[in-house]
């Protein structure tokens, strides 16, 4: 049976709407500064993008425009981990290369950013992947600053830590209106009203439900992604594993190399992956099972049906990367995040006392704590 949700207080210094990682990071930073904080979420527990992803903070390969924010976020993640005991692994990431076209870009990156990345030869890869590296792999690139967390437990544990620290998390409170009033900002929910000096709206991809004009102005739509969890292959691999398709997606690579030859190469060797707008990558959960994804489809309303063909493309490509027997699929799911062709991060202040923050480039895990530190800078 459902327990009654936490009673909604009538006021707080800060109200955060959304208990995904962006909202919880904001609640954590505001609480650290001694502000009274209340978090509202329409669901009974975190169930959005923040638990459906890879648990990979891709700090190293962010483009110049996001690099400082990503680095600040890295510090924020590590501080949060020290204070809460929630594990954050400084495991980095490894980009796997099977062809000359991939290696050319990785070599250019290592030459341009020697403090951030190290080239790996075939025997390094064997060590990094604990013997799982497929025969076709020729080398790779270690991205030093990336972090790994368990996406399934991190947001729920952070919500639990905040509650224990005295921050009410009001689950099953659907926010239906946010308005300026004489004493701050008023937030109406399906279970009552709360007022705050400052409201931070972190409702992820459903921004248009509350602020359609803001969403329209910034051309925010939804990106839906297909994911699977595969049975444990045996050895434990700590870093996130990225591939040539990741190189096309993460902005920093295009800043140091011409990506056209790699794109042409993939058009001839992996057209299905390009058609699915895939970023083939994987991470491992603490139980050893593998999170494998992902495809990208952009629309105002996501296609509700998962495609067997897209999954086949991802798994066929994966089989060439790992030296392992076919791994049974344990779970399949769709993730959705906010996306915009106009901006990587939407961070606007419709009026003093209301901040609307949505990551619109698929890197909300990476940037969450950086955004929170920007909203609530240390005095
Ligand atoms: C498959 C997949 C893979 C990804 N991989 C990565 C990755 O490797 N690295 C990376 O950095 N990022 C990745 N991302 C992106 C990242 O997961 C998101 O950018 C991030 O989780 C967004 O966090 P959020 O808190 O804004 O959204 P969410 O986690 O979706 O949380 C939003 C919350 O707001 C609540 N809410 C919405 N509307 C209301 C309302 N009206 N009232 C009350 N509550 C409301 C929802 O219930 C939800 O709990 C991935 C995303 C997906 C889907």
Token pair for 51 = 């638990």
Provide the pLDDT for residue 1: 58
Q: Say how many Å lie between the CA of residue 49 and the centre of ligand 1.
A: 3
* Global ipTM: 0.99
Counting every residue written for the chain, the total comes to 379
Of all residues in the chain, the percent with pLDDT exceeding 90 is: 96
Helix (H, G, I), strand (E, B) or coil at 137: coil
Q: What contacts 24+ positions apart, CB below 8 Å, involve 298-304?
A: 298/221, 298/222, 298/223, 298/339, 299/221, 299/222, 299/224, 300/221, 300/222, 301/222, 302/222, 302/223, 302/224, 302/334, 302/336, 303/224, 304/334
Which of helix, strand or coil describes residue 14? Answer: strand
Rounded Cα–Cα distance for residues 27 and 18 (Å): 10
Task: Give start and end residues of each alpha helix (H) in 270-307.
Answer: 271-275
If you compute the radius of gyration of the chain from its CA atoms, what whole number of angstroms results?
A: 21
Residue range 11-52+153-218+342-375 forms a domain whose CATH class is alpha beta
Query: Under 8 Å CB-to-CB from 37, ≥6 apart: which residues?
Result: 12, 13, 14, 15, 16, 27, 30, 31, 162, 167
Give the pLDDT band of residue 325 (cuts 50, 70, 90).
confident
pLDDT tens, 138-171? 999 999 999 999 999 999 999 999 999 999 999 9
Q: Give mean pLDDT, residues 201-217.
A: 97
Confidence of residue 183 (pLDDT cuts 50, 70, 90): confident
Ligand 1 atom nearest residue 338's Cα: 19
- The CATH 3.30.9.10 portion of the chain extends over 100-144+221-339
Q: Using the predicted structure, report yes or no on whether residue 2 has a pLDDT greater than 70.
A: no
The three-class DSSP label of residue 362 is: coil
Ligand 1: nearest atom to the Cα of 47: 49
The pLDDT, as a whole number, for residue 99 is 93
Average confidence score pLDDT of the chain: 96
Query: CA separation (Å) from 103 to 95, 114, 197?
Result: 10, 15, 52
What one-character DSSP code corresponds to residue 115?
T
| pLDDT for res 356 | 98
Tell me, what's the pLDDT at 95? 98
* Least confident span in 1-10, 160-169, 182-191: 1-10
Distance between CA atoms of 169 and 163, rounded to whole angstroms?
6
Q: Is the pLDDT of residue 116 over 80?
A: yes
CA proximity to 55, closest of 122, 148, 127 = 148
Mean pLDDT of 259-274: 96
**Ligand 1 site: residues with CB under 6 angstroms?**
17-23, 40-43, 46, 48-50, 52-54, 56-58, 174-175, 202-204, 206, 209-210, 225, 227, 293-294, 335-337, 358-359, 362-366
In whole angstroms, what is the distance from residue 34 CA to residue 54 CA?
Answer: 32
Nearest ligand 1 atom to the CA of 176 is 41
Query: For position 145, what pLDDT does the model report?
Result: 98
Please give the Cα distance from 17 to 26 (Å, whole number): 10
Topology at the third CATH level for domain 100-144+221-339? D-Amino Acid Oxidase; Chain A, domain 2 (3.30.9)
Model confidence pLDDT, tens digit, residues 47-95: 999 999 999 999 999 999 999 999 999 999 999 999 999 999 999 999 9
Instruction: List the Cα angle 329/331/337 in 5-degree steps.
Output: 125
CATH 3.50.50.60 domain extents, the chain: 11-52+153-218+342-375
């Amino acid at each position: 049976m459902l327990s009654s949700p936490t009673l909604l207080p009538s006021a707080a210094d800060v109200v955060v709407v959304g208990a995904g990682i962006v909202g919880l990071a904001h609640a954590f930073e505001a609480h650290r500064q001694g502000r009274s904080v209340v978090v509202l979420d329409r669901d009974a527990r975190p169930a959005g993008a923040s638990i459906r992803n890879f648990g990979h903070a891709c700090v190293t390969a962010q483009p110049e425009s996001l690099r400082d924010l990503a680095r600040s976020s890295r510090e924020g993640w590590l501080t949060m981990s020290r204070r809460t005991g929630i594990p954050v692994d400084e495991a980095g990431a490894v980009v796997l290369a099977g062809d000359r076209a991939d290696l050319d870009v990785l070599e250019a990156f290592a030459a341009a950013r020697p403090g951030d990345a190290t080239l790996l030869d075939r025997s390094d890869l064997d060590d990094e992947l604990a013997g799982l590296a497929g025969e076709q792999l020729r080398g790779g690139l270690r991205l030093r600053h990336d972090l790994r967390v368990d996406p399934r437990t991190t947001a729920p544990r952070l919500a639990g830590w905040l509650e224990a620290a005295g921050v009410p998390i009001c689950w099953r409170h659907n926010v239906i209106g946010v308005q300026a009033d004489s004493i701050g900002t008023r937030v109406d929910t399906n279970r009552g009203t709360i007022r705050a000096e400052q409201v931070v709206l972190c409702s992820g991809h459903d921004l248009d439900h509350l602020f359609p004009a803001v969403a329209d102005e910034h051309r925010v739509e939804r990106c839906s992604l297909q994911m699977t969890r595969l049975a444990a292959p045996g050895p434990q691999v700590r870093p996130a594993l990225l591939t040539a398709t990741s190189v096309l997606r993460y902005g920093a690579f295009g800043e140091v190399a011409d990506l056209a030859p790699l794109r042409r190469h993939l058009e001839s060797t992996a057209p299905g992956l390009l058609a699915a707008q895939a970023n083939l990558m994987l991470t491992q959960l603490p139980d050893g099972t593998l999170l494998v994804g992902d495809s990208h489809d952009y629309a105002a309303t996501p296609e509700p049906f998962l495609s067997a063909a897209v999954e086949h493309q991802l798994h066929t490509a994966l089989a060439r990367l790992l030296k392992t027997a076919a791994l049974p699929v344990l779970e399949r799911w769709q993730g959705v995040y906010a996306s915009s062709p106009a901006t990587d991060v939407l961070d606007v202040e419709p009026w003093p006392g209301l901040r609307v923050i949505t990551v619109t480039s698929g890197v909300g895990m990476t940037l969450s704590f950086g955004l929170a530190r920007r909203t609530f800078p240390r005095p």
